[in-house]
Amino acid sequence: MNRNYIDAISWRLVALLSNVLSGLVVAALYTRYFSKEMATVLLAALNVMGYLSLFDGGFRTVANRRLLISTHAAEKTRIIEVCQSLYTALAFVFFLAAEVLVSMYATTPNPREAGVPYVFFLAMGLVAALNIICGSQMGLLLGLGAQKQMFILQTIIAWVTLIALQFWLRIGYGYWSLPMAYLSQLVVIWPLTLMMIRRQQPGLKVFRWNFGADFRAAIADMRLDAWACFRSQASILLLFSLDQYFIGAYCKGSAAYLVLARFFAYVRSLLQSLGEVSWPLIAQKEDIGRKWGMPLLRLNGWLYGAVLGAMLLTLPGFVLRFATQEYEVSRTIMLLLVGRFLITGLSSPVSYFLFGLGDFVQVARRIERELILGVVLAIPFAYKRSAEGVAAAFLVATVAGTLFPLMSDYARRVGYSAWSMFIQVWWRGLLSFGISVSLAFAFLQLGLSGYALVVVGAVAASGALLVPIGWAWLRAPSLTGLPWSQRARFIVENL
């Protein structure tokens, strides 16, 4: 674990903690300012906007990987210039796609019944497209080796969006506060993004219009990897948003599900930091994946089990802290979501490791099969307006697509036993889950509620993690006198 890795993962954690904390407050604002019907419509609209990032066709990730592994300055400059021309053209695609997506969503039953005007969705699409254009430039920082700067920008985005949303809601803009908040965010983030990019690449032209022979040759060279990357990214995004789309568009009074899903998405983003930060390093040095893959998977198992175990008992009551009884969380929904996110969470680093190794195709195939199964199973339940049925359908698909196959693919690639990897990760995840649930249950007997549930969850998760840390400390060599970074490395290796 070198200094750059530690810096990057530290700032990634800061960025994601900022997203989680600001997300908690944003969820509270939705339940405070909007009815559950309106909240359902607005939250689902935001999920629809998330599809826009797919329209880059996977080129940013592939280009970033090539920038990271390239050792020639001229080649790096060529890749950057090609990408800037590509994203200039894609800016028009983002605008068109945004308006098409929001128009399709605006025609579904719940938005029509809520009485939200069509022009609101057009405004949301326009602002979302502008933010995606800014985000596509921000993504270049990863390929330039400036992960830390990218995560700093993500931290700023979280807090600026929250402050802006709260401001516009308080002065009475209602649901129009959403596009106003994201426009306010853009005004702050766009100049900061350009400043940080130009520190890494002086003289960079953000918008280029050069589609000559060099551009066509570079695109042709990257297109197969980009297509596989696009398939995997599209499938992952759809996999974690189509359930919310079905429920937001067709299932009445299911705002609690959408609020819970956003909480789980924040936590998933936080916990998958290990894989997200690791893949660029694996791309540069493949042996890092072989050396650190298994220790990081074991660590990930302990973390996910501890956090989701605490959330199972504390999150429903925490949601009600901000809302009326109409947002009461169904136990069935909660169990289905926890089961699904535990399975995906324990396997999530594997997808990033395979990205780092350049194996985009296999990840795409696995996730596509899971997505197709989830949609096929969910459609009848969406037609019957059953949120529980939709959630169960996607859990079954996750069991079939993610529980074992992805780990098996990675194990084959790095020469491990797939079953040994699976067992090592899952017994740790289930043990920490059980300890965390037990600790949370014991604390809840004190009758705690509201904000105190955050403390209960944190204590339960931390308590569950003390078990593996203590065990690793005993198994590790003598750590006396070693720097803290080396101590941390030995502990992670022995978890």
As a whole number, the mean pLDDT across the chain is: 82
Residue 251 has what pLDDT?
Answer: 75
Residue 61 confidence (pLDDT) above 90: no
Least confident of 106-115, 154-163, 325-334: 325-334
> How many Å apart are CA 175 and CA 165, to the nearest integer?
10
Residue 73 has what pLDDT?
Answer: 82
Neighbours of 195 (CB within 10 A): 10
What is the C-alpha R_g of the chain?
A: 22
The position carrying tokens 């401001």 is 167
Tens of pLDDT, residue by residue over 426-437, are 999 999 999 999
> CA 166, 168, 169 angle in degrees (round to 5)?
65
Least confident of 198-202, 260-264, 310-314, 330-334: 260-264
Residue 271 banded pLDDT, cuts 50, 70, 90: confident
- With contact defined as beta carbons under 8 Å apart, do 248 and 110 qualify? yes
Query: What's the first-to-final CA gap in the chain, in angstroms?
Result: 16
> How many Å apart are CA 83 and CA 89, to the nearest integer?
10
- Give this prediction's pTM: 0.72
- With contact defined as beta carbons under 8 Å apart, do 21 and 226 qualify? no
Residue 12 has what pLDDT?
Answer: 74
Residue 324 confidence (pLDDT) above 60: no
Averaged pLDDT, 22-39: 77
The residue ranking higher by pLDDT, 30 or 192, is: 192
Residue 288 has what pLDDT?
Answer: 65
The residue ranking higher by pLDDT, 269 or 477, is: 269
Q: Residue 455: helix, strand or coil by DSSP?
A: helix
DSSP string across 50-102: GGGGGGGTTHHHHHHHHHHH---HHHHHHHHHHHHHHHHHHHHHHHHHHHHHH
Q: Is 487 exposed, middle or buried (0-12, 13-18, 19+ CB in 10 A)?
A: middle
Residue 50 confidence (pLDDT) above 80: no
The position carrying tokens 């959630």 is 391
- SS3 breakdown of the chain: % helix, strand, coil, rounded to 5? 85, 0, 15
- Percentage with pLDDT > 90 across the chain: 16
Averaged pLDDT, 453-472: 86
Residue 442 has what pLDDT?
Answer: 93
Tens of pLDDT, residue by residue over 272-299, are 766 677 767 676 666 666 677 788 889 8
Least confident of 39-53, 110-124, 177-191, 303-317: 39-53
The position carrying tokens 């053209």 is 89
DSSP string across 362-374: HHHHHHHHHHHHH
Helix axes 3-33, 255-271, angle to 10 degrees: 170
Q: What is the DSSP letter of 132?
A: H
Averaged pLDDT, 318-332: 64
Residues near 405 by Cβ (< 8 Å), separated by ≥ 6?
A: 366
